[in-house]
Amino acid sequence: MKSAIRKSKCHQAIGIFILGFSLSLSHAFAEKTKKPKLPKSYESKVAPPEITDADRMFIDLREAAKKNDVFRTQQLAGNLANYPFDDYVAYFRIKPQLFDGAGGPRGDYSADAQVVAFLNQYQGTALADRMRNDWLLVLGKRKDWSRFDMEYAKFVLDDDTQVKCYALLSKLSQGENPTKLAIDSRAVLLDPSYFGQACQELVPSLVAAGGMTPSEAKAIGRAANEKGYDTMARRLGGEDPIAEIVKAAKADPAKAYKDFSQNASRYSKENQAVAWGVIGQFLAKKLDSNADDAYRMQQELGYNELLSAESQEWKVRAGLRAKDWALVKNAIEGMNPAVRSRDPAWTYWYGRSLKADGQDVKAKETYELIDDQYNFYGQLAREELGKPNHAPARTKVSDQEIDAMASRKGFIRGEKLYSMNLRFEGNREWNWELRNMSDKQLLAAAEYAKRINLYDRVVNTADRTKQEHDFSLRYPTPFRDELSPIARQIDLNLAWAYGLIRQESRFIMNAASSVGASGLMQVMPNTAKYVAKKIGMTNYTNDKLSDTNTNLILGSNYLNMVLIDLDGSWVLASAAYNAGPSRSKLWREKLTSPTEGAIFAETIPFTETRVYVKNVLSNANYYSSVISGQTQSLKQRLGVIAPKAATQTELP
């Protein structure tokens, strides 16, 4: 629960979780037990029993490495010569030598020998792949394409946008067809937040080689401008004739719409089209009914391919909000294929637009493309096809298969890292171990995670299966003895409460967000005080928010309060729990007619809240199946939301 505070984006992750589990280490980790000699400043009498002095120094080393503090990392690493995580000690020592204080690759050769030695020593590990990722950025910066290509071929995850841009630059430098490379770049150049230096070099290089037109480059620059990266925008596409219109649309889209309606004729047809697309995007984010009109004017002019990914997606949402199915259909057909394929939303809504156009056979074929997906839109697609949304048959694994997971190196290392609150590194080790596992192995790993109370890993691991499933692991119900009586007492739907907890904290008991929300239900301190007073919890103090039962009582009661305040709508209440009741009410007030819940959810202006609501309600449907064996229509759960004036109740 974030109330009125929105969290910053960090690699598309929600919040920063801090975990403190006390976990015993298996004998496999205990092979390196010689205790490093530590400076006196690290000899602490108050360190928790599961965290040694060496562990605390290791945590400091990690923090120094994050800041690329070369001197500090060298100093700390020197005192951890015999530490069990020798690869991490080496990595944290080398990595700051590759990047400057601002996080940019240095591009020099000083650390090459150390990197090569590291990659050779720790070949095939998660951390070696991370080191290779870092080095590829350095090699790309200095245009060492021969070495870059050799290392890129070994990069397993291949999930870094800058590295992908350098890979395209390498191909361009070797004479590959620039037109083909420009086409390939469309799947890479989607979010300017991840472009960095590499992508800012790639775009003008493709233009200079004749593979990309100046208009296409300006469109990529405009996408950066829309997100506030003005300098990047100019580097990508040069001066944009509609840069001022972009600025005006971000500041006051209603005024920009009015002004451009009067001045559009001053611009070329192309610039009129892209300007209407930008204005339409920002009107749609304000839930302004003129968004549909702006996008229809853009549609008449064409140039869909010059709209940013954001503008393309909000074009669909504007059409949905206006129930303009022709615009929805045209918008999805005109999408960049990479944008269209990355979210099942556009497949589902395309099917709906075909159905609205009377093309029932094609609509059915479209739904079938995603009806095997166990997500929000997969469920809706199955309902359109008349199929049930119950949990699939459970695949069981043996104790022997589960026991085998205890000796997996990645899991052993992950447990230790979790015990030190190093969640990012713990997840890296755990997820790397999951690579290439069969469905049954994944289920065994999820069961192992359940045994050691790592419920977020239970969910994450079970969620990866393709053919064989166990939804009691995908949708686990820990703390049921505590939550069930609370929900029963206030008549709160237990499946919905679990669906929300799964999304909020992944059952990490002492999860804490970057804005102060904490516990299983991620309750904000001020909200907790408000709810405690309302329900007569007279002895409440904020330090009790970390208590599991207290957190569940306060979170459940608040969820019930917003549900009552918002007329029993699970969509509105879920949105209110995440973004605050006042925003949820405002979004409802913007409606001009009754709107199906799926459309309302898809057109929520905040990305975090939009994803949150869809996930919570999708979760709730499966939890209903897991808990009671009964299924419910997701459409019915979403309901229809009607416009309504603001109520007098003010909840935090």
The answer to whether domain 399-474 and domain 480-641 are alike in fold is no
Q: What are the beta bridge partners of residue 523?
A: 518
Res 590: pLDDT: 96
Contact 338, 186 (CB under 8 A): yes
**pLDDT value at 8 more than 80:** no
Nearest by Cα to 475 from 375, 583, 365: 375
**pLDDT value at 372 more than 50:** yes
Q: What is the pLDDT of residues 37-77, one digit of tens each?
A: 555 445 443 444 478 999 999 999 999 999 999 999 999 99
Query: Mean pLDDT for the chain?
Result: 92
Q: Which CA distances in Å does 371 have to 292, 364, 365?
A: 29, 10, 10
User: Look-up: residue for tokens 């990069």?
Assistant: 155
Q: Which CA distances in Å does 624 have to 31, 452, 466?
A: 45, 25, 21
Contact 1, 517 (CB under 8 A): yes
Q: Which CA distances in Å does 290 have to 137, 256, 402?
A: 44, 11, 57
Contact 460, 468 (CB under 8 A): no
Q: What is the pLDDT of residues 408-439, one digit of tens each?
A: 999 999 999 999 999 999 999 999 999 999 99
Res 464: pLDDT: 98
Could you give the CA distance from residue 85 to residue 628 in angstroms, rounded to a whole number? 45
Nearest by Cα to 565 from 553, 554, 577, 578: 577
Enumerate the domain spans of the chain.
34-83+85-159, 399-474, 480-641
Pick left, alpha or beta for residue 186 (phi over 0 → left; psi -120 to 50 → alpha; otherwise beta).
alpha
Q: What angle do CA 499, 425, 161 make, to 5 degrees?
A: 85
Q: What is the pLDDT of residues 137-192, one digit of tens each?
A: 999 999 999 999 999 999 999 999 999 999 999 999 999 999 999 999 999 999 99
Spatial neighbors of 228 by CB under 8 A, at least 6 apart, are 250
Contact 291, 284 (CB under 8 A): yes
At 592, the amino acid letter reads: T
Could you give the CA distance from residue 550 to residue 562 in angstroms, rounded to a whole number? 18
CATH topology of domain 399-474: 1.10.1240
Could you give the CA distance from residue 519 to residue 508 in angstroms, rounded to a whole number? 7
CATH 1.10.530.10 fits 480-641, yes or no: yes
Res 145: pLDDT: 98
pTM, two decimal places: 0.91
Nearest by Cα to 95 from 120, 123, 75, 67: 67
Q: At what angle do helices 439-451 and 423-434 cross, to 10 degrees?
A: 150
